[in-house]
Amino acid sequence: MFDRALLDELCDLATRVRTLAKSEVGARALRDLLPTRRAMLYFTQPSTRTFLSFNNACHILGMRTSEIRDPSTSSEVKGESFSDSIRTFSSYVDVIIMRTKEAGRAAQAAKLMDGIPRPVPVINAGSGSDQHPTQALLDIYTLARSFEPRGGIDGKVIGMMGDLKRGRTVRSLCYLMRHYEGVRLVFIAPPQFAMESDIKAYLDEHRIAYSETTQLSTVLPQLDALYVTRMQTEWDTAGESRAVDLKPFSVGTHELTLMKRDAFIMHPLPRGPEIDPLVDQDPRAMYWRQERNGMWMRVAVLIKIFGVERIVTALAAADGQPPLGGRLA
Ligand code: CP
């Protein structure tokens, strides 16, 4: 559903709200944008940052939120179907933000909305090991911000390392790469956790260059950014992750000496042992800023969904002062 214009617009919006929120008057104006809107956060798979960043994104815009995080507290335990549960949420709120262990659930919920009289937007906040689209958006925002002094994302060499087979963040990010010119991807993974063939077929179809290796040290000096991921142990059926020697797929102080001075390291978090906490001190460690960028990007997504982007642009031009001193939404 994304194109370059929409990605650029979302990045610009995220920057505008980030700047506006720095001042008291700007933060108040943002809070006046959507005070009558309500969001449902249906997160039945564990999450820290996606849940908290969406929750806070809603509150930044003055929205109210409801949540179900533990399915044992919902009527699903009485046998209510997934479809009936989603339809019930839509009776009370204006947007459903959902994370599930099962792949395809957000798409199923969105399809259900197409057939009911009061549909509400559905945002996929992570569906199984399949997709995590808003993570990909915040990753694009982080890449765009970080590469801004170097002409943006176009033409850059981006490494993706770790459990690429079961990591939904890298899968979603690969999809968005088709909107950038001349990007080259380098997949660095243990052979049993290499990138899946459906993503490689997609990259081939869209003529996005990629290569695969198990040797980080060989490719590290060429990379403009390295996107590290953890082993997705939650999908193990027989301790597969434990069989992997993670050391060759980890970043420590030695790896920093091999990187370009202006390259940077990303990670969707949470991290395991694949990034030594000592790396956090290096200015090329981008993952904590990436995490915070997630909240601003999710504010931007909500602004776009509810169609108030022009008000935000006007506010940004007026340093947060509401036009004519009146209410905005
Ligand atoms: N990156 C990410 O999705 O983190 P959480 O699982 O904590 O939401």
DSSP per residue, 157-225: EEEEES-TTT-HHHHHHHHHGGGSTT-EEEEE--GGGPPPHHHHHHHHHTT-EEEEES-HHHHGGG-SE
- Residue of 47, 69, 129 best suited for mutating to test ligand 1, as the one with most atoms within 8 Å of CB: 47
3 state SS of 125: strand
| Helix (H) or strand (E) segment spanning residue 12 | helix 4-20
> Which of 269, 289, 297 has the most ligand 1 atoms within 8 A of CB, as the residue to mutate?
269
Atom of ligand 1 nearest to the CA of 269: 1
Whose C-alpha lies nearest to ligand 1, atom 3?
A: 50
Confidence of residue 319 (pLDDT cuts 50, 70, 90): confident
pLDDT for residue 221:
98
Distance from C-alpha of 313 to C-alpha of 171, rounded to nearest angstrom? 32
- 324 pLDDT band, cuts 50/70/90, is low
Please tell me the distance between residue 269's alpha carbon and the centre of ligand 1 in angstroms. Answer: 6
Strand-pairing partners, residue 39, are 65, 95
Q: Which atom, in ligand 1's list, is nearest to the CA of 291?
A: 1
78 is catalytic: yes
pLDDT over 90 (residue 325): no
Q: Is the pLDDT of residue 132 over 50?
A: yes
184 is catalytic: no
Out of 15, 44, 50, 229, which one is annotated catalytic? Answer: 50
48 catalytic? Reply is no
- Cβ–ligand 1 distance for 134 under 6 Å, the answer no
Q: Is the pLDDT of residue 192 over 80?
A: yes
Nearest residue by C-alpha to atom 5 in ligand 1: 47
184-200: average pLDDT: 97
- Asked which of 203-217, 232-246, 274-288, 300-314 is least confident by mean pLDDT, the reply is 232-246
* 270 pocket-lining for ligand 1 (C-beta < 6 Å): yes
**325 or 92, which is more confident:** 92
Say which of 28, 31, 38, 49 is annotated catalytic: 49
- Find the range with the poorest average confidence among 46-50, 58-62, 127-131, 291-295: 127-131
Q: Is 48 in the pocket of ligand 1 (CB under 6 A)?
A: yes
* pLDDT band for position 321 (cuts 50, 70, 90): confident
Ligand 1 touching residue 49 (CB < 6 A): yes
How far, in Å, from the CA of 245 to the mean position of ligand 1?
24
99 counts as catalytic? yes
User: For position 320, what pLDDT does the model report?
Assistant: 82
Output 50 or 323, whichever has higher pLDDT: 50
Query: Is 317 a residue whose pLDDT tops 60?
Result: yes
Residue whose CA is closest, atom 1 of ligand 1?
A: 268
Biggest distance spanned by C-alpha atoms of the chain: 64
Asked if 299 and 27 count as a contact pair (C-beta separation under 8 A), the reply is no
Residue of 18, 37, 87, 132 marked catalytic: 132
Q: Mean pLDDT across the stretch 107-121? A: 97
pLDDT at residue 323 in the model: 62
The DSSP output letter for 128 is T
Residue 329 has pLDDT above 60, yes or no: no
Ligand 1 centre from 328 Cα, in Å? Answer: 32
Ligand 1 atom with the smallest distance to the CA of 268 is 1
Q: What is the DSSP string of 80-97?
A: --HHHHHHHHHHH-SEEE
Confidence label for 77 from pLDDT (cuts 50, 70 and 90): very high
Find the range with the poorest average confidence among 30-44, 158-172, 237-251, 313-327.
313-327
In ligand 1, the atom with minimum distance to the C-alpha of 48 is 7
pLDDT of residue 34: 98
Amino acid code (one letter) for 254: H
- Give the pLDDT score at 28: 97
Task: Answer whether 136's CB lies under 8 Å from 204's CB.
Answer: no
Average pLDDT, the chain: 96
- Asked if residues 160 and 187 have their Cβ atoms less than 8 Å apart, the reply is yes
